[in-house]
Amino acid sequence: MNKRRVVLTGIGAVTPVGNDAETSWKNIIDGVSGVGPVTRLNPDDFPAKVAAELKEFNIENFIQKKEARKMDRFTHYAVAASMMAVKDAGLEINDQNADRVGVWIGSGIGGMETFEQQHETFLNRGYRRVSPFFVPMMIPDMATGQVSITLGARGFNSCTVTACATGTNSIGDAFKVIQRGDADVMVSGGAEAPITKMSFAGFCANTALSTNLDPASASRPFDKNRDGFVMGEGAGIVVLEDLEHALARGAKIYAEIVGYGATGDAYHITAPAPEGEGGARAMRMALEDAGLNPEDIGYINAHGTSTDYNDKFETMAIKNVFGEHAYKLAVSSTKSMTGHLLGAAGGIEAIFTALAIKDGVLPPTINYETPDPECDLDYVPNEARRQDIQAAISNSLGFGGHNATIALKKFSE
């Protein structure tokens, strides 16, 4: 079977460092942190006091208030980012092409805020006062559902839920849909609105969140003094397109997506497999799928959560896959600035990886102050770096032992 080439032609994002992809990328390159004191809940109730929240985001800039009230915040973020991505791609969806335009957007936890609010209503006022929109607001596939309705995209339609690997799995699976010919265009990525009382409580209870009281330094991937991740929110959406389809309409091309790897640890519900064994297999699979050698990769956008085991084992996995070349390539974690957007992380990090290739600039890992002997690679500490990048990968690793890697390269006809 001849595999169709797939390119990335549109980007859209709402992140803690910007309410569009352009602003987010500029702030990432400038090393701007989106972490601050948590405001969506009472910090006195939790040991973690900081989060990476959106600033001044208003869904009514995209859809009418009446429609927005039928959606959870994670769906707001997905709809806004998708509308921006399609506009950026210059893509018109109409009756002639709608059946060939699909949507694949995932969410790790879906409408947790809606669940909490409606459960409280049920306890206090009974089932009759629960919203009839409760279930379609809460379920994770509703980001995909509402985006397809908003855009009029009637093609391949699905949703991935693989915890923190969700965004990367979604894009990888959407890539395969186009590659095998089941769609010409896919709108894909991840969306998450996890800064709620129960989500915060759950991650505090399993000691995954940083208890650093200083927002500026709380997210510090690969630094010896890291103490947990900072929860973030938002969405990252890309438009993937069959190359011939993109060229025929004169679309701009950010990068070509060339490989996808997905594996399971079969080890533990939250801890990564020793030495990042599952993540290493995902990277190898992505490289093999792309027809790339390890030496071809110039940059890795790491999962890099700022937790002890993740950063250490991901570093070991990179060294296992890339050997001596691991010390020659650049590795950075943009979570040092955005926090960890859980199911949306892979979406925004795919955008940052594509832009790193297109613009020839490596995003930094900020707050890197104290080297960890077990994390000894080039993490692009604290300042962005100009460098030509021909090919790069983006990693995402999730609870449940999910590992996902996508490979992108500079587009050349």
Give a yes or no: residue 253 inside a domain: no
Question: Known catalytic residues?
Answer: 164
The dihedral formed by the CA atoms of 395, 333, 364 and 107, expressed in degrees to the nearest 10: 80
Mean pLDDT of 219-247: 98
For position 62, which CATH number holds? 3.40.47.10
Single-letter residue type at 105: I
Among the residue ranges 73-82, 247-256, 267-276, 340-349, the one predicted with the least confidence is 267-276
One domain, residues 241 and 322: no
Give a yes or no: residue 255 inside a domain: no
In this predicted structure, the answer to whether residue 2 has a pLDDT above a threshold of 90 is no
Give the end-to-end CA distance of the chain in Å, rounded to a whole number.
20
The CA distance from 139 to 136, in Å, is 6
One domain, residues 22 and 76: yes
**In terms of DSSP bridges, do strands 330-332 and 361-362 run parallel, antiparallel, or are they unpaired?**
unpaired
Structure confidence at residue 229 as a pLDDT band (50, 70, 90): very high
Give a yes or no: residue 1 inside a domain: no
One domain, residues 226 and 266: no
One domain, residues 341 and 212: no
One domain, residues 227 and 94: yes
Q: Note the pLDDT of residue 106.
A: 98
Domain's final residue, options 248, 268, 301: 248
Mean pLDDT of 172-195: 98
Token output for 394: 């983006």
One domain, residues 328 and 403: yes
Q: Note the pLDDT of residue 285.
A: 98
Structure confidence at residue 208 as a pLDDT band (50, 70, 90): very high
The CA distance from 221 to 219, in Å, is 6
Give a yes or no: residue 254 inside a domain: no
Domain's final residue, options 224, 248, 272: 248
Number of structural domains found in the chain: 2
Nearest to 307 by CA among 383, 250, 229, 381: 229
Q: What's the domain range around 115?
A: 6-248
Give a yes or no: residue 190 inside a domain: yes
Q: Note the pLDDT of residue 381.
A: 98
Q: Note the pLDDT of residue 282.
A: 98
Give a yes or no: residue 109 inside a domain: yes
Q: Note the pLDDT of residue 413.
A: 83
Q: Note the pLDDT of residue 242.
A: 98
List 4's β-bridge partners, or say none: none
Token output for 2: 């001849």
* Phi, psi at 60, each rounded to 5°: -70, -5
One domain, residues 72 and 175: yes
One domain, residues 217 and 339: no
In this predicted structure, the answer to whether residue 228 has a pLDDT above a threshold of 90 is yes
**In terms of DSSP bridges, do strands 385-386 and 361-362 run parallel, antiparallel, or are they unpaired?**
antiparallel
DSSP secondary structure string, 219-256? --TTBTT---B-BB-EEEEEEEEEHHHHHHTT----EE
Give a yes or no: residue 324 inside a domain: yes
Q: For residue 104, give Cα distances in angstroms to 111, 225, 283.
A: 17, 37, 22
Give a yes or no: residue 40 inside a domain: yes
Token output for 310: 């993740």
Domain's final residue, options 248, 277, 295: 248
Burial track 243-257 (b if 16+ CB lie within 10 A, e otherwise): bebbeeeebebbbbb
One domain, residues 184 and 306: no
One domain, residues 134 and 103: yes
One domain, residues 17 and 147: yes
Token output for 298: 């110039």
* Phi, psi at 322, each rounded to 5°: -100, -10
One domain, residues 291 and 240: no
In this predicted structure, the answer to whether residue 139 has a pLDDT above a threshold of 80 is yes
The CA distance from 110 to 74, in Å, is 7
The CA distance from 308 to 262, in Å, is 23
In this predicted structure, the answer to whether residue 1 has a pLDDT above a threshold of 80 is no
In this predicted structure, the answer to whether residue 218 has a pLDDT above a threshold of 90 is yes
